[in-house]
């Protein structure tokens, strides 16, 4: 479990999972509890300034970071009495509720050249644009997944048109299409297709 905790924590800090501000503060408070123990063991929480608490794409403005660090210290205080193992488990449970957990996404372009994210999750394949609008292609609706040069092709059942996504190169298209096809095959064979 500890290795899993370290991995999900790294995913948060590296920006692969995006917590809200409140979630980020809660996660940082749990990480401090797991790493340093109870709040009352410290004369000052100045050491938190040196500890990586937030995702790397969050602001680097000193005043904002100071305010966030103070909020983490307050959050840390609420976890007094919780063991490191309990704090790690609470951290994991919190991360598993984050939007995007368990999803793998890839930057691609649509037929109009717009930057979008193509992703995979238990229900199928999803496409998310910059403003957050999501289109889902459920496993049951997909007949075949392939690639043609640097494009990924979704052949949909009951539709005459295929859906194309464009990647930077042939290798990316090949990797993504094979990953998606393997997951599609797994869900179809095991009849885990969600309606």
On whether the CB atoms of residues 150 and 166 are closer than 8 A, the answer is yes
The distance in angstroms from the start CA to the end CA of the chain is: 33
- pLDDT at residue 192 tops 80: no
Host H or E run for residue 147:
strand 142-148
- pLDDT at residue 23 tops 90: yes
What does the pLDDT average to over 119-140? 87
pLDDT attached to residue 38: 82
Q: Does the domain formed by 104-189 have CATH 3.30.450.20?
A: no
- pLDDT at residue 193 tops 70: no
- Domains of the chain, residue spans: 2-96, 104-189
pLDDT attached to residue 186: 87
Q: Which of 9-23, 47-61, 121-135 has the weakest average pLDDT?
A: 47-61
- Distance in angstroms (rounded) separating the CA atoms of residues 24 and 9: 11
- pLDDT at residue 142 tops 80: yes
Q: Please, what sign has the CA dihedral across residues 138, 143, 147, 152?
A: negative
With bands split at pLDDT 50, 70 and 90, how would you rate the model's confidence at 52? confident
CATH of 2-96, one of 1.20.58.100, 1.20.120.1200, 1.10.274.10, 1.20.80.10: 1.20.80.10
Question: Bigger pLDDT: 7 or 45?
Answer: 7
- Distance in angstroms (rounded) separating the CA atoms of residues 44 and 104: 40
User: pLDDT of 63-90, one tens digit each?
Assistant: 888 888 889 888 988 998 999 999 999 9
pLDDT attached to residue 166: 96
- Distance in angstroms (rounded) separating the CA atoms of residues 162 and 153: 6
């Amino acid at each position: 479990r500890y290795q899993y905790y370290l991995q999900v924590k790294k995913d948060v800090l590296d920006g692969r999972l995006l917590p809200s501000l409140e979630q980020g503060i809660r996660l940082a408070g749990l990480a401090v509890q797991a790493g340093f123990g109870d709040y009352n063991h410290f004369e000052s929480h100045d050491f938190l300034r040196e500890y990586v608490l937030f995702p790397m794409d969050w602001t680097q403005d000193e005043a904002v970071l100071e305010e966030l660090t103070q909020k983490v210290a307050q959050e840390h205080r609420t976890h007094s009495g919780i063991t490191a193992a309990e704090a790690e488990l609470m951290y994991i449970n919190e991360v598993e509720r984050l939007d995007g957990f368990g999803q793998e996404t890839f930057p691609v372009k649509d037929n109009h050249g717009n930057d979008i994210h193509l992703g995979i999750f238990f229900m199928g394949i999803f496409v998310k644009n910059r403003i957050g609008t999501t289109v889902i292609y459920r496993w049951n609706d997909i007949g075949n997944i392939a690639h043609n040069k640097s494009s990924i092709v979704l052949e949909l059942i009951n539709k005459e048109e295929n859906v194309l996504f464009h990647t930077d190169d042939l290798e990316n298209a090949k990797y993504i299409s094979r990953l998606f096809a393997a997951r599609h095959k797994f869900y179809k064979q095991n009849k885990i297709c969600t309606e």
